[in-house]
């Protein structure tokens, strides 16, 4: 782990481990998976791992504000000295732009954080969306099914996935392609 990811791990642990232990299991597994994908992002390995540690920090009760964890977490990270890039990766992780729209926060998200489409953002989405709530490895299909069952058919989270799924699958596919191109 590099300096950003070490601080990110400690920060995430401090805010999630005791108050949201199931979320903490998920975050630990996502970060471990991100470390394994470091080869896909070159010099961004530490950025990817830090963003993985912090991607769900906005769920922490002492950080949550709007109820939209991606934006709440990104705002908090920016205020607490994390890089703008890490904050932006957290802000947009796993198709968050669609959830922002569902919650009436799309313009705020767009005004506050730049969106990127890179191997690093794709890898972050991949590690999040192939890791279950208890840290288990899942396919993207299993993960989407789990999310829809957990939230129910009428929840904003379930609704946004209806629109976000094609974009998510494309990012996952790009990461899988990059993985398959790696030498064994």
* pLDDT 10s digits, 43-84: 999 999 999 999 999 999 999 999 999 999 999 999 999 999
Reading the block at residue 116, the tokens are 């990127």
Q: How confident is the model at residue 159 (pLDDT cuts 50, 70, 90)?
A: confident
| β-sheet bridge partners, residue 137 | 131
Q: Quick one: which of 48, 43, 44, 11 has its CA closest to 32? A: 48
Reading the block at residue 29, the tokens are 């597994």
Instruction: Supply the pTM of this predicted model.
Output: 0.95
Q: How far apart are CA 124 and CA 105, in angstroms?
A: 22
Q: How far apart are CA 49 and CA 31, in angstroms?
A: 6
**What are the DSSP calls for 128-166, one per residue?**
HHTB-TTS-B--HHHHHHHHHHHH-TTSHHHHHHHHHHH
Tens-place pLDDT, residues 84-133: 999 999 999 999 999 999 999 999 999 999 999 999 999 999 999 999 99
Tens-place pLDDT, residues 6-48: 999 999 999 999 999 999 999 999 999 999 999 999 999 999 9
Find tokens 């890039």 and name the residue: 85
Inform me whether the pLDDT recorded for 184 exceeds 70: no
Instruction: Please give the backbone phi and psi of residue 131, each rounded to the nearest 5 degrees, phi first.
Output: -130, 125
Query: Directed axis angle between helix 21-36 and helix 119-129, to 10°?
Result: 140
Tens-place pLDDT, residues 126-157: 999 999 999 999 999 999 999 999 889 998 88
């Amino acid at each position: 782990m590099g300096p950003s990811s070490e601080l990110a791990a400690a920060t995430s642990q401090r805010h999630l481990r005791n108050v949201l232990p199931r979320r903490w299991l998920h975050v630990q597994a996502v970060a471990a998976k991100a470390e394994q994908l470091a080869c896909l992002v070159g010099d961004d390995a530490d950025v990817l791992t830090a963003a993985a540690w912090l991607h769900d920090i906005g769920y922490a009760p002492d950080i949550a504000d709007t109820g939209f964890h991606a934006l709440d977490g990104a705002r908090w990270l920016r205020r607490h000295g994390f890089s703008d890039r890490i904050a932006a990766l957290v802000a947009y992780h796993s198709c968050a732009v669609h959830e922002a729209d569902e919650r009436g926060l799309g313009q705020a998200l767009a005004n506050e954080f730049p969106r990127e489409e890179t191997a690093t953002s794709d890898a972050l989405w991949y590690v999040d969306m192939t890791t279950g709530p208890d840290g288990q490895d899942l396919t993207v299909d299993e993960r989407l099914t789990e999310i829809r069952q957990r939230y129910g058919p009428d929840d904003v989270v379930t609704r946004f996935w209806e629109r976000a799924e094609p974009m998510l699958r494309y990012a996952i596919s790009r990461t899988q392609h990059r993985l398959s191109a790696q030498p064994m």
